[in-house]
Structure 1
Amino acid sequence: MITNPEQLRQHLLQARFEVLPLRGAVEQAAQLPAGSTVTVTASASKGPDRTVEVAIRLRELGLHVVPHLAARSITGQVQLAELLDRTAAAGIDEVFVIAGDRPEPVGEFADAPGLLSAIEELGRRPARIGIAGYPESHAFIPDVETARALDVKARHADYVVSQICFDPAATGAWIRAVRERGMTLPIHIGAPGVVDMHRLLRISLKIGLGDSLRFLRKQPGVVSKLLTRYTPEALFDELAHHLADPVSGVAGWHLFTFNEVAKTLQWRQELAQRLREVPA
């Protein structure tokens, strides 16, 4: 039973949307209402300049834009300063710092903590900085190191976005664990938007979501879903109570659209309407 449908509806309407800096990303994100928050991921192949270029174009459309800065794709402090200056000049006051997927760094930054420290040393810190959290094992980093890195990154950040996890119990356990360690930053729960199922599985394998995929495949009806599309509605149902629990410190949803913004936006509007019709 939904105990606070209006609160859930507001969180849904304020969800963050994530896009990839690929062809068509600007046109897709342009369909979002003005003022919506859109994050632009980092691309190891296209480099940080492409991310910033897309972010600036989206900012010109009236969106609140958050470019990802990937430590392993930035050559050094000179390039970092240039990227921060370009975003600031465009009116972008928020960035999202990650390590990035490159096997080897192109310059002096090997991880997110190093990049966060460099941003502060440069004296160019944006108003807000986000960092990533991992509810289940990272594809390349041991669990102990992942937990330690999150605690270090949190000292320089304003909020956390969780990586995709199809298992709501794992996400809930992770939220409790980080709170028990004393991390107090707001958490945005990451979830896929409305995505072609084959594409979602392919991307999930690429980024190492093995545990999540094993969980997903055990769920009733997953075979038929493979032929259609994925929606995050089941995850929303299972995790909604965290938004109402002040101890959880959950700020809202972060939707990984994989550039299928239009489908995700339509789904959000339909679900928001259904929540409006639920008796309080």
Structure 2
Amino acid sequence: MGNVFISIKDIDVNNVIWIDARFNLQNAEEGRKLYGLEHIKGAVYWDLEKDLSDMTKDEGRHPMPEKEQLQSLFERSGLQYDTDKTIAVYDQGASPFATRAWWMLQYGGFKNAKIVKEGYTAIKEAGIAVQSGEEALTTTTLIPRWQDDLYVNRTGVKEIVDGKVKKVLLDARAEARYLGQIEPMDKVAGHIPGARNFDWEQLKADGVLTTNQKLHDVVKQDEQIVVYCGSGVTASPLFAILKEDGYSNVQLYTGSYSDWITEYAPEKGISKK
């Protein structure tokens, strides 16, 4: 098993940096509002659309930030390398927002980052101190340790579709969207040609994200896997669980389906590959 998730009981509250990643895709202001009302004491807030995406780009609905933007985020959050402090990222529980933030930390080379299994309410109920308002943060200066091998862009995905690179594309959306039967978000229905499907919602159990044997039936550990979804957000739980389960060759297509269809046609039905 991997070392991706951490339970509240295993967190040393005297040696932790908290990141609050709560968000609501239907109400973009809700997470920031909840943070202002109350958050784990000392936590910094990372907004899905203001910090973990570059919404000025035309590369899907939650485009990949530039490295300079992420470096600024890491530095103003007071992060540093080679420390024994755990970076503990939480959201409302069984959601894709802490995993998105954690993936950005992996991309930035922070090996001490963990996803808190339980959501905010459970952390508070465990007796960990909370407070309201903004935090006075100490900034740092970093030389980033980028892990570019975790990220795939549209060009890299096209090479897979064209058979130039042997990797498995894994679609994290609901089966009906994958099949092209419905499409509530994007202008055209279907999936990236050749992709397999595993709905990330199947990872939810009792308010936490957990492994699922069905996932192991869809992709094998010796395969090289590229996960994607609609906009790169709900693919991150799949990435995290695969890494937790010991899959070593996993990448994330941040632009995902919403980026793919800006240039290329989708496929409908069950892929023959």
- Asked if TM exceeds 0.5, the reply is no
Which is helix-richer, 1 or 2? 1
Q: TM-score with structure 2 length normalisation?
A: 0.28
Q: TM-score with structure 1 length normalisation?
A: 0.28
